[in-house]
Amino acid sequence: MQARLRMAMNTEAHFRRTQKQFTSLLLAILFGVSLAGAGDVGLCNYEVWIVDQSDSNNGSALIGYGGYIHIFKNSDFNCPDATVDLGAETAQLCFERTGAYPVRPHMVFFNPAGSHATLSFVTSGHVVIFRAKDRKPLTCFRTTPGFNGQRQAHASVPTRDSKYIIVANQNGKMVERINVDWEREDFVHDLNATLALYGNCTTPNGLPCESPGLRPDNAPVCTPTLANPTLVFVTLRGGGLFVLDYTKTPLQIVAEYDNSTIGANGCGGVSAKNYMYINSGGGTTSNLYEFKVYKLPTTGYSSANAPNTPVPKKIADDSTGDRDAHYAGILYNKRTNPTYFWQPDRAQSVIDVFSFKNDKFVNRIDLKATNLSTDPTPDALVISPTMAYAFVSLRGPIPLSADPHVSTGSSPGLGVLEVQHYGRNARLASITSITNIVNGTNRADPHGLDLRVTSDFCNVAYLGRRQALMTNL
């Protein structure tokens, strides 16, 4: 009798464990809840790609081109699962296609499916497309010479409709488009779609695209896109903003903002619900410090509108000290509702937190608080599918982009933040160092960063709330 009772109790306990596991599985699939107490390890698997801008190393010296992509799996943030030397196959591919080697890998972004990545080389103007699963470079393009014969590729952002890549040709002062078919791996640099933002360019209102009183320097910085399949927001180095319809040939301006409405050097654009956040930062010798954040609607854009329409809402404007708004992120609760907007600051090594609901400042996350680094200098930001972690690229002591006054850091590497209270707070939990040693000096300078899911169980939660990054975005 006692044996039967024990058997019944064991069966009941097993049933309850199975029921609990099944319930947890459903929660993980529907809401991105992690089953592992430590965070994301378990059902939801993903990779974090972080780009080192420094040149490839031949063992004794830098070779003058290339760079590295370090790829981490969420099962181990202490050691990369793989490292791609961009001075090898990637450089050879670019030389064969364009006659030049790629220099200064800057930003990396995945397409919505996470099947492919785009990598922009800011100095040489190359854009390389990788197949993500085997990390193979498939093709290489080079942007068009524009303003004063210059060209760059500061950011190359896949659109949410999976049909295009929008390229910010920064010093060339042009926005370019690559037409894509991800499944067939068919890619075309559509030169007819290019929009030059200087010279004879005029807006639908008949105003010059670039002029001292409106938009003094139309170098496009970042090109964040929305979930709807038409619009890209183009931030400008000298201030101002263009909203473009990227499906038109050439790309078409549907909204214009002057530099008194939107500040300079914006490189942080994320969207959620019916809103797009755009920032304005420092980072250049002509605009050392700036910290502004704007919230714009995702609809209401038309070439028939007056300038500065729809009107943006300024939710942050801090000119009290050395501040630099750069990159951005949005956090969600378990019901996939946006809760908080994060605005990192390279100059102060902090992240300012704002309520998504009422736009109020609610907290400041100090990346120095855990004493892992005296000067972390966060650059790019991405958030895990379950919202348990956030990742930041931390700059090195020899910065290769942006002005050194905001881009010089003391601990080049991948920073891992533990997210608390649905994003109201976080703590820098670890830093995995990234190195590129030449003659005893670490030349590494991490910059670009993005994340792709690799398991079906977190795709449902992730794809429904994925940040539309810039890069830069």
The count of other CB atoms within 10 Å of the CB of residue 252 is: 16
Phi-psi region of 319 (alpha: psi -120 to 50; beta: other; left: phi over 0): alpha
**Residue 113 falls inside a structural domain:** yes
423 domain residue, yes or no: yes
The side-by-side arrangement of strands in the sheet containing 231-235 is 231-235, 241-245, 252-257
Domain-embedded: residue 15: no
Handedness of CA 444, 83, 416, 327 (dihedral sign): positive
Query: What is the mean pLDDT of the segment spanning 404-408?
Result: 91
389 assigned to some structural domain: yes
Q: Are 410 and 444 in contact (CB under 8 A)?
A: no
- For 86-144, write each residue's pLDDT tens digit: 999 999 999 999 999 999 999 999 999 999 999 999 999 999 999 999 999 999 999 99
What is the per-residue pLDDT across 389-398, written as a single tens digit (0 to 9) for each? 999 999 999 9
Residue 376 lies in a domain: yes
Contact assessment for residue 279 and residue 293, using Cβ atoms and an 8 Å cutoff: yes
pLDDT in tens, 233-268: 999 999 999 999 999 999 999 999 999 999 999 998
pLDDT at 37: 34
- Give the H or E element holding residue 93: helix 91-98
* Exposure class string for 283-301: b at 16+ Cβ within 10 A, else e: bbeebebbbbbbbbebeeb
pLDDT (0 to 100) of residue 470: 33
Q: What percent of the chain has pLDDT over 90?
A: 80
The pLDDT score that the predictor gives to residue 288 is: 85
Q: Which of the residue ranges 1-5, 185-189, 227-231 has the most confident prediction, judged by mean pLDDT?
A: 185-189
Overall average pLDDT of the 450-459 stretch: 84
Q: Is the pLDDT of residue 310 over 90?
A: yes
The CA-based diameter of the chain, rounded to the nearest angstrom, is 94
pLDDT of 462 above 50: no
Whether pLDDT at 12 is above 70: no
Structural domain for 142, as ranges: 45-463
Closest by CA to 367, choosing from 306, 331, 413, 320, is 413
Mean pLDDT of 344-370: 98
**For residue 196, what pLDDT is reported?**
99
Q: Give 42's pLDDT tier (boundaries 50, 70, 90).
A: low
Nearest in space to 377 (alpha carbons), one of 416, 418, 412, 352: 412
Q: What is the pLDDT of residues 190-238, one digit of tens each?
A: 999 999 999 999 999 999 999 999 999 999 999 999 877 899 999 999 9
Assigned token pair, 283? 């980072």
Residue 173: give its domain's CATH number: 2.130.10.10
Q: Taking residues 362-388, what's their average pLDDT?
A: 97
Query: What average pLDDT score do residues 140-151 get?
Result: 99
20: left (phi over 0), alpha (psi -120 to 50) or beta: alpha
pLDDT level of residue 319 (50, 70, 90 thresholds): confident
Mean pLDDT of 34-38: 35
* 85, part of any domain: yes
Reported as a pLDDT band with limits 50, 70 and 90, residue 464 is very low
Phi/psi of residue 185, nearest 5 degrees: 55, 50
Residue 123 lies in a domain: yes
**Residue 43, pLDDT score:** 75
Listed in sequence order, the residues at least 6 apart from 56 whose beta carbon sits closer than 8 Å to its beta carbon are: 62, 63, 65, 66, 67, 68, 85, 86, 87, 88, 91
Number of domains in the chain: 1
Confidence of residue 472 (pLDDT cuts 50, 70, 90): very low
Mean pLDDT of 285-293: 88
At residue 200, the pLDDT reads 98
Would you say residue 37 lies in a domain?
Answer: no
Cα separation, 122 vs 448, in Å, equals: 11
* pLDDT tens by residue, 435-445: 999 999 999 99
Q: Which residues pair with 84 in a beta bridge?
A: 69
Average pLDDT across the chain, whole number = 90
With a pLDDT cut of 70, the percent of the chain lying above it is 87
* pLDDT for the residue 228: 73
pLDDT confidence band for 403 (50 / 70 / 90): confident
